[in-house]
Each structure stands twice: as C-alpha cells, then as structure tokens.
Amino acid sequence: MDNITSIFDTCPLYLYNPLDITLLGFYYPTYNRKKNCKVYKPITQLVDGYVLLSNNASNHTCHARCIFPKKDRGYLGTLWVKVPSVDRLECDIVETECIKEDILESFLHTQIFEQKSLPKTLEYLQETMGGVQMEFLNKVGDNSRPNGFPLAFGTPKVAQVWPTTLAHETLKDLYHADVQFLEFFQRNRAIIERSFFFFMGDHGPRRDGIGNIRLGQYENLNPFLMVIIPAAYRSTPMHLQLKQKVLQLMTNFDIHATLMDILKLEPPSEFRNTSYRSMEPLSKGSSLFREWRGPRNCRTLPIPSQYCICQYDWTNVDNQTVQLELGEFFAEQLNLQLTNGGVMEKCQRQFYNRISSMRQLYDRDELLYDVVVYLSPSNGLFSVGDF
C-alpha cells in the first residue's frame, strides 16, 4: 500500500447481481421467436465427416462441399461431391444442396474436425467439464473488431467460431439457444475434453436500451468468459492458477498471452510450468495459467479509461453552475484542439449545449471530472475523462 500514489493504482471490483431490478426489463428467459415455427429437417446428415441422405430425401439429387473462411467476410468452397459421400469431408463447415423438381434446398452442417445469458449450458460446462468462469474480463475497445485484434492476432492453429448475430442486436434471441449450445457441448464432449476451450463474448450487450442504465453500461464493458482446459490437466497447478484469477481484472491481451503460452511455451513442460514469465515479445498480456506479478488496474494493463470496470467512488455533479463551466470549458478545449491540429477552417466552432452526464472523484488532493456533453451545432455527444 505504501507504493500507492493515486486511487487509480487500485482497482475495486464488485460482483453485481445480473437480475438486479434495473436489468429485469432486459431478461427474457421464456422468449423464443421460433416457438411457433415448424422444425426443419435437413435432407442430408453429417455423420463423422460423411454426408448421408435423410429419410425424407426421396427423389432428391444431392451434393456436398467443404467451406473454408477467406479473411473476415469471404469464403472458399471446394468442388461438389455426390451424396452419399464416399470420402470424409475434412472441414468444420459442410454445405449441401439438394434438388427435386427444380426446387433447391441448401443446408450448412458444422462439425469439429481434427487432424489426428445460457443456464443449462453453463451448468454443464462448470459441473461436467470443469469450466472456470472469469468474472472480470474488461473489454479494451468499443466494438467487436478492436476487441478481437488483441485476442487473436498472431495466434496460429486456433479454431474460432464467432456467432455475431445471435445476441448482438437484442438479448431476446439468446435464451432459446441454450439447448442448442448444450447439445453441441454434449455431442462434442470427447473432443473438448482434449482441448483448451474459451467460451466468451467480445463485449457485453448494448442494444435495446440496456445502455441507458448504469448496470447495463457496466454489462457492456464486462463480457462473459469461461475457460475449459483438457481433462488431463484439471486439478493440477495449471487449473489452480486459473481458478485463482476468477476475481481478478483481465483483458483479451491476457487471453492472447494464454493462447501463445499454450502453443509455444507450455508444451515442452507438458503444461506443468506455472511460474511467472514475461510473455514479451510474444504477447503484451499475462498467461492465465501462470503466476502474475505486480498491480493489475486499468493503468497497468492498460485499459482505456472509458472502458475501465474498476469501481471508484464517483459522484454526480449536480451543481448547474459547475455543469455550465465544465461544459463551456470542454467546448473551448475542443475548438483549441481543432485549431492546433490545423483543421479548424474545415470545421464549425462548437458550443456547449447540454449535459449527458458529469461525475467527480477525489484522488488524494485532486478533484477529477468525467464529462459527457452534447455540443452545438453538431449536436454530437462528446466525452472526456482520463487517468
């Protein structure tokens, strides 16, 4: 404690109730938009890599092919083969097409191919597969792309599935997928038991108005993370290190460091070495499977102040005179930045319009402000607050 010179050298963390009364309006455990839909039965089946015809495939002519990703948004398809397939399709995604009387039906099958909010799912992962939920993963960017870069950049030999649309725009559509996730993990248990598995989000929910309440804003900053390690390494020092970090602050940089540890550093020791090790130059983070050193806060990791989940004793600025002074000062400083940057002649001069939020915090003898205001004539929402 003697080395603490600022409140920001600490990081108070609290576990909030996900069913807090302010969040209940965004909780839809029984909602299923597909409740009245007829269950579609594919004409084809994927069994152990082979594509077979289902019982309802009478008089259909079917073909199948592998689909491989091409960068972020594209894909490559292999040559079509007849179904039933003679050879195994050695890929994670298999597309099938079946034609009958000029009617075309397509389907995407998924598998795990190896070269030699979900209560049921989470309970299964924790109770059956030893999953460890890390409570304080802190996002480091606004949306998916900046949070994905520190996680996966430079990590080969990693399979990734990123279902971006399931709960991105609304939380309602997540709940009905619980059974599908559970069945996926049960079906692939043997493979996952031999794998390092990260079940996570890149950021929390922020649509449907949840971002307008305080705990909803916190949820956005604190995405879900559960880590499953191979069965052979459970109840070992590696597993213990993971469990000890459940309530510690971490970021995707730490997950990246863990992936690099798995791929490059741990194999020679057969995953028994849990001693501290700097991960540079491989990674900027710290492996979840090793001892950590030094303070962990939003300054040291680092996490941009606007995304920091450390819970400091901020209080609202209610004095309207102070609000006006801070708002006008903010606008003046923005205009000064534009002038110093040589772009003022291309921009309109901004003036304080109204407050969105203003908070203050005492850091020893200093009074700090976090300011979010609307400026005119842009009517833009601007914020400043740093440590």
Could you read off the pLDDT of 124-136 as tens digits, one per residue? 888 888 888 888 7
- Furthest-apart CA atoms within the chain: distance in Å: 81
| 164 assigned to some structural domain | no
| 124 assigned to some structural domain | no
Same domain, 199 and 283: yes
| 230 assigned to some structural domain | yes
Provide the residue range defining the domain that includes 335. Answer: 315-383
Same domain, 322 and 288: no
Please state the pTM of the whole predicted model: 0.69
In the three-class reduction of DSSP (H, G, I as helix; E, B as strand; rest coil), residue 371 is classed as strand
Same domain, 300 and 325: no
In the listed set 289, 306, 323, which residue is the last one of a domain according to the structure? 306
- Dihedral angle of Cα 321, 325, 326, 328, to the nearest 10 degrees: 130
What is the Cα–Cα distance from 379 to 42, expressed in whole angstroms? 51
Q: Hey, what are 26's tokens?
A: 């965004």
In the three-class reduction of DSSP (H, G, I as helix; E, B as strand; rest coil), residue 187 is classed as helix
| 1 assigned to some structural domain | no
Q: Are 330 and 373 contacting, i.e. CB atoms less than 8 angstroms apart?
A: yes
Predicted local distance difference test score (pLDDT) of residue 116: 43
Is omega for the bond preceding 84 within 30 degrees of 0, making it cis? yes
Residue entry with tokens 């305080």: 214
**Cβ neighbours of residue 113 closer than 8 Å, sequence gap 6 or more:** 49, 90, 91, 92
Grouped pLDDT means (10 residues each) for the chain, 387 residues: 79 88 87 84 91 87 92 87 91 93 91 68 85 81 64 58 77 83 92 92 82 82 92 95 96 94 93 95 95 94 89 93 95 95 93 92 90 92 75
Same domain, 334 and 227: no
